[in-house]
């Protein structure tokens, strides 16, 4: 199609002299002491999906060209190298230019290398690359795009490395290369000679950069790709050895915390007792920064005491007058009009508006970073999904050249969109500069909920017209508090563009909405439009394990159920009739069969079914929910119990599942997230601040909300290309839960999560850190 670019063609050299007809890929030998092979990143396939049907809807932008493609395309123009190094101990090393925040990308990349290099996976060492400004767009972790963007370049480099090892061995033995082969890290000759990769690593090294073409393994020969692989970092995780930013032992980087404003984006007017607080036990430094008052001390416990002892007068923030109700009014005012006129003689309409509360993307590891800023340089350690933009922003803030700032990407304790922003790293750099000392900055949990990023409140209005036995039009108007996209596509140029007046919406929100959203059904005339209100930085917003998809999908699928009912059709049968594409139909049929759709259930229990397409994948979910009083009213201390999803069945087709076990894990996360979004977890915005301040206020799914019966079906390969998976599961699970809840309760819910109208906790005080409990021993079990 037209979107294919010259750069991409250069990466995909047509047929090779051997005439096999298979596509060759280009990589490079890099001059180094041992064998180092590089390949360009950013050569994703841009194949359109087919659309066919009843009253065919024109393909929407997402179906042809999605957000991942945009990321890939952005990468093409500037792409440079990723490199695999062979070591003399027989291992291979690869510094992955992505963040690992729990989704298993390091394991998956190790699989790709193991496959093409023919090396046991335990000999593949994956680290996270430092910020590499030369990579520009190619160092952003998000949009479920890591697998898609790494799949071909990593395999190319690994395949060339294997060939070079064979060439080195053949030269050493004086035999033709065609007579040697590899087996699990060893090169063998026909006469039985063997050489380990380690023994060949130096001999195979290049003395100058050389371009090499290589063919990749055909899928039929895969022995690692497509096979379940346990996480390569699992042993570290279960022994406590896995190292996160706050576990690093950077010399003299003492614990540091910040006293924050009583409202979002409030600033310090004055502090009455800086000297007195600095004299407190263990405290070394106290100072005003742009986001509050920073305190550095020997222990975090002493920092908490000092933070709370500060006597601060605050300036107001920009949204002090805003609460859920005032924001809802502004969203209503910003909603774009529907355009299909009602045609009362022939058609009927279903028309409703769904409201989705603010939600927190707070991971379990709070915002944190280590910073060591000197007069002439700065060094940062943090979980950064956009490390290049972080380096550039910090350099600008500190007045240092970009080359004087280094950023080490540390394994993250979750992200869910949070680490697209480098808030903690930027703040830590400011504090370290101010104090002239290294700092280990950690946000308190309460601040992380209140001043950290939220997924913004939104509404989704849907009107469907139908008549004469068919659906004629589908219109959706999604209206949201503006999502901050100022992380751009990974570096400063697009990040700056997003900060220009209207740049965040016109340049990003609108485009990203169009590139990520589509209706999977043939509903005649389809329009989906977005409008946003409030400045991008009025609240602290950001993506949260998807951007718009869960809310849009919930609204779509609830309306689909209602239209099906009006047209006298079973929800499954209706979906089968109107679905556009075969892959989605296949996953729908799979969950219906495995989940026994339509089985008899007691009153108060019901099934729900939903589908979603995104990231070049198709997914369907069937859930069962128990809304009977005995379940809803079960008691757990300081908890929201409520309805319980008792069963979840997910069928997922990602095109090519590289690691089915990891994919299943991502679906399990999607199930926990989807349940939370519909039943329990939200942020209440009140007078310019989220009221939530602890995990017993923000009711993310807990064990007592977890289904006891979960089945994830990973569909066999369909497209041969891996799609995205990290975010894919959330939307259809949320939608299926919402549909099941509506059916079980015989209601038409329009506000989510369903418990948002009831504040189930007593809010913690503003601005101060809640006191550390002292009664822990009394809860021992």
Partner 1 sequence: MPSHTFKLNGQQVTVDVPDDLRLLWVLRDVLGVMGPKYGCGLDVCKACTSHINGKAFNPCSVRISDIKPTDEVTTIEGLPATVGKPLHPMQQAWLDFDVAQCGYCQPGQIMAAVAKVKQARAAGHEITDADLDELRNICRCGTYFRIREAVKAGAQKM
Greatest Cα pair distance in the chain:
86
Q: How far is the CB of 104 from partner 1 (least distance, A)?
A: 7
The one segment of 407-415, 477-485, 606-614, 744-752 that binds partner 1 by CB under 8 A = 407-415
Q: How far is the CB of 227 from partner 1 (least distance, A)?
A: 13
Residue 612 has phi, psi (to 5 degrees) of -160, 145
Q: Does 244 bind partner 1 (CB under 8 A)?
A: yes
Strand partners, 621: 610, 650
Residue 386 is encoded by which pair of tokens?
Answer: 């956009």
Q: Using the rule CB under 8 A, give the single segment among 13-21, 245-253, 429-437, 486-494 that binds partner 1.
A: 245-253
Prior bond to 753 cis, omega within 30? yes
Closer to partner 1 at the Cβ: 288 or 650? 650
Q: Which is nearer to partner 1, 557 or 673 (CB)?
A: 673
d(CA 406, CA 392): 10
Distance in angstroms (rounded) separating the CA atoms of residues 140 and 431: 26
Site for partner 1 in 270-309 (CB under 8 A): 281-282, 298-302, 304
SS (H, E, C) 237-269: HHHCCCCCHHHCCCCCCEEEEEECCCCCCCEEE
Q: How far is the CB of 445 from partner 1 (least distance, A)?
A: 4
CA distance 103 to 98: 11
Between residues 27 and 104, which has the closer beta carbon with respect to partner 1? 104
Residue 366 binding partner 1, by CB under 8 A? yes
From the CB of residue 768, how many other CB atoms can be counted at a distance below 10 Å?
Answer: 18
By CB under 8 A, is residue 247 in contact with partner 1? yes
Give the whole-angstrom CA distance, residue 203 versus residue 601.
Answer: 69
Size of the site for partner 1 (CB under 8 A): 77
252 near partner 1, judged by CB under 8 A: no
Contact 687, 539 (CB under 8 A): no
- Which among 656, 701, 642 has a CA at the least distance from the CA of 675? 701
171 forms part of the interface with partner 1 (CB under 8 A)? no
Nearest-angstrom CA–CA distance, 531 and 480: 7
User: Positive or negative CA dihedral for 75, 78, 81, 82?
Assistant: negative
CB of 484 to partner 1, least distance (A): 21
Mapped onto helix, strand or coil, the DSSP state of residue 95 is: strand
Cβ neighbors of 22 (< 8 A, separation 6 or more) are: 15, 16, 215, 216, 218
Q: How far apart are CA 46 and CA 43, in angstroms?
A: 9
Q: Report the residue number, 698 or 741, with the smaller CB distance to partner 1.
A: 698
Which one of 98, 445, 616, 647 is in contact with partner 1 (CB under 8 A)? 445
- DSSP letter at 47 equals P
The correct pick among 672, 680, 682, 718 for binding partner 1 (CB under 8 A) is 672
Piece in contact with partner 1 (CB under 8 A), picked from 148-156, 310-318, 490-498, 705-713 = 705-713
Token pair in block for residue 479: 């209206």
> H or E stretch including 472?
strand 470-481
Q: Which residue shows structure tokens 């063997």?
A: 194
**Closer by beta carbon to partner 1, 312 or else 650:** 650
**Residue whose CB is less far from partner 1, 365 or 379:** 365
- One residue of 207, 208, 239, 758 binding partner 1 per CB under 8 A: 239
Q: Which is nearer to partner 1, 114 or 559 (CB)?
A: 114
Residues 734-753 that bind partner 1 (CB under 8 A): none
CA pair distance 542, 553, nearest whole angstrom: 19
Q: Residue 711 phi/psi, 5° resolution?
A: -130, 125
CB contact at 8 A, 51 and 37: no
Q: Does residue number 243 form part of the binding site for partner 1 (CB under 8 A)?
A: yes
- Residue 602 touching partner 1 (CB under 8 A): no
Nearest to 362 by CA among 299, 302, 441, 445: 445
Report the nearest approach of partner 1 to the CB of residue 669 (Å). 4
Contact 410, 435 (CB under 8 A): no
Q: Is 761 in the site for partner 1 (CB under 8 A)?
A: no
The reply to whether 661 sits near partner 1 by the rule CB under 8 A is yes
Name the segment binding partner 1 (CB under 8 A); options: 78-86, 95-103, 323-331, 547-555. Answer: 95-103
Question: From the list 11, 72, 365, 475, which residue makes contact with partner 1 (rule: CB under 8 A)?
Answer: 365
Residue 122 contacts partner 1 per CB under 8 A: no
**Residue from 57, 152, 362, 504 in contact with partner 1 (CB under 8 A):** 362
Q: Which of 42, 44, 102, 524 binds partner 1 (CB under 8 A)?
A: 102
For residues 507 and 770, which CB has a smaller minimum distance to partner 1 in the complex? 770
Residue 545 or residue 743: which is nearer to partner 1 going by CB? 545
Q: Does 704 bind partner 1 (CB under 8 A)?
A: yes
Q: Which part of the chain contacts partner 1 (CB under 8 A), choosing from 197-205, 284-292, 358-366, 620-628?
A: 358-366
Partnered with residue 293 across adjacent β-strands are 259, 288
| Interaction between residue 104 and partner 1 (CB under 8 A) | yes
Does 477 participate in binding partner 1 (rule CB under 8 A)? no
Report the residue from 15, 50, 234, 500 that binds partner 1 according to the rule CB under 8 A: 234
Nearest to 714, CA basis, from 706, 705, 704, 725? 725
Residues 673-692, one symbol each (x = binds partner 1 by CB under 8 A, - = not), give: x-------------------
């Amino acid at each position: 199609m037209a979107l294919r670019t010259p750069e991409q063609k250069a990466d995909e050299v047509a047929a090779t002299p051997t005439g096999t007809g298979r596509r060759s890929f280009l990589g490079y030998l890099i001059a180094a002491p041992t064998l180092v092979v590089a390949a360009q990143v950013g050569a994703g396939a841009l194949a359109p999906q087919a659309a066919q049907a009843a009253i065919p809807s024109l393909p929407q932008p997402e179906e042809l060209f999605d957000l991942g493609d945009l990321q890939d395309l952005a990468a093409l123009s500037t792409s440079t190298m990723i490199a695999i190094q062979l070591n003399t101990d027989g291992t291979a090393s690869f510094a992955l230019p992505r963040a690992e925040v729990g989704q298993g990308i390091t394991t998956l990349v190790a699989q790709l290398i193991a496959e093409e290099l023919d090396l046991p996976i335990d000999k593949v060492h994956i680290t996270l690359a430092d910020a590499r400004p030369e990579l520009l767009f190619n160092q952003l972790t998000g949009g479920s795009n890591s697998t898609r963007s790494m799949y071909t370049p990593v395999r190319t480099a690994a395949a060339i490395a294997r060939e070079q090892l064979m060439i080195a061995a053949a030269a050493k033995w004086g035999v033709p290369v065609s007579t040697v082969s590899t087996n699990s890290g060893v090169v063998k000759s026909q006469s039985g000679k063997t050489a380990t990769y380690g023994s060949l690593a130096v001999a195979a090294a290049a003395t100058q950069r050389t371009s090499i073409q290589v063919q990749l393994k055909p899928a039929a020969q895969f022995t690692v790709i497509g096979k379940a692989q346990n996480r390569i970092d699992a042993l570290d995780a279960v022994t406590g050895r896995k190292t996160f930013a706050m576990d690093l032992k950077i010399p003299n980087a003492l614990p540091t915390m910040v006293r924050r404003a009583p409202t979002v984006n409030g600033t310090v007017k004055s502090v009455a007792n800086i000297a007195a607080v600095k004299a407190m036990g263990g405290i070394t430094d106290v100072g005003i920064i742009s986001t509050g008052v920073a305190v550095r001390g020997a222990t975090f416990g002493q920092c908490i005491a000092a933070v709370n002892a500060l006597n601060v007068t605050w300036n107001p923030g920009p949204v002090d007058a805003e609460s859920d109700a005032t924001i809802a009014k502004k969203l209503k005012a910003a909603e774009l009009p529907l355009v299909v006129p009602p045609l009362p003689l022939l058609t009927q309409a279903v028309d409703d508006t769904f409201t989705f509360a603010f939600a927190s993307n707070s991971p379990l590891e709070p915002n944190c970073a280590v910073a060591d800023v000197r007069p002439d340089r700065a060094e940062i350690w943090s979980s950064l999904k956009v490390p290049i933009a972080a380096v550039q922003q910090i350099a600008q803030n500190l007045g240092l050249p970009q080359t004087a700032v280094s950023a080490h990407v540390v394994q993250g304790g979750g992200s869910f969109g949070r680490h697209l922003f480098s808030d903690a790293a930027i703040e830590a750099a400011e504090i370290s500069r101010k104090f002239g000392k290294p700092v280990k900055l950690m946000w308190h949990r309460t601040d992380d909920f209140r001043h950290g990023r939220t997924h913004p409140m939104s509404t989704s209005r849907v009107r469907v017209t139908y008549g004469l036995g068919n659906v004629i039009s589908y219109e959706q108007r999604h209206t949201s508090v503006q999502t901050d996209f100022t992380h751009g596509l990974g570096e400063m140029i697009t990040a700056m563009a997003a900060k220009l007046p209207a740049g965040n919406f016109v340049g990003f929100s609108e485009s990203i909405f169009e590139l990520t959203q589509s209706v999977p059904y043939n509903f005649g005339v389809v329009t989906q439009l977005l409008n946003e209100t409030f400045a991008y930085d009025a609240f602290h917003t950001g993506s949260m394990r998807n951007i718009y998809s869960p809310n849009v999908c919930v609204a779509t699928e609830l309306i689909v159920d209602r239209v099906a009912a009006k047209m006298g059709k079973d929800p499954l049968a209706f979906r089968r009739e109107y679905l556009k594409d075969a892959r989605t139909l296949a996953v729908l049929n799979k969950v219906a069969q495995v989940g026994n759709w339509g089985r008899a259930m007691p009153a108060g229990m019901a099934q729900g079914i939903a589908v979603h397409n995104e990231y070049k994948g198709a997914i369907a979910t069937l859930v069962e929910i128990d809304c009977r009083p005995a379940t809803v009213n079960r008691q757990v201390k300081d908890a929201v119990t409520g309805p319980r999803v008792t069963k979840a069945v997910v069928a997922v087709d990602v095109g090519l599942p590289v690691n089915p076990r990891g994919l299943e894990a991502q679906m399990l996360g999607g199930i926990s997230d989807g349940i939370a979004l519909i039943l329990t977890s939200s942020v209440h915005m009140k007078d310019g601040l989220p009221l939530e301040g602890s995990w017993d206020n923000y009711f993310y799914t807990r064990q007592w909300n977890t289904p006891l019966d979960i089945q994830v079906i990973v569909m066999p390969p369909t497209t041969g290309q891996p799609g995205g998976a990290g975010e894919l599961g959330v939307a259809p699970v949320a939608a299926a839960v919402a549909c099941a809840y509506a059916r079980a309760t015989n209601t038409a819910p329009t506000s989510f999560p369903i418990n948002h109208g009831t504040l189930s906790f007593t809010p913690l005080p503003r601005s101060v850190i809640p006191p550390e409990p002292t009664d822990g021993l009394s809860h021992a079990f």
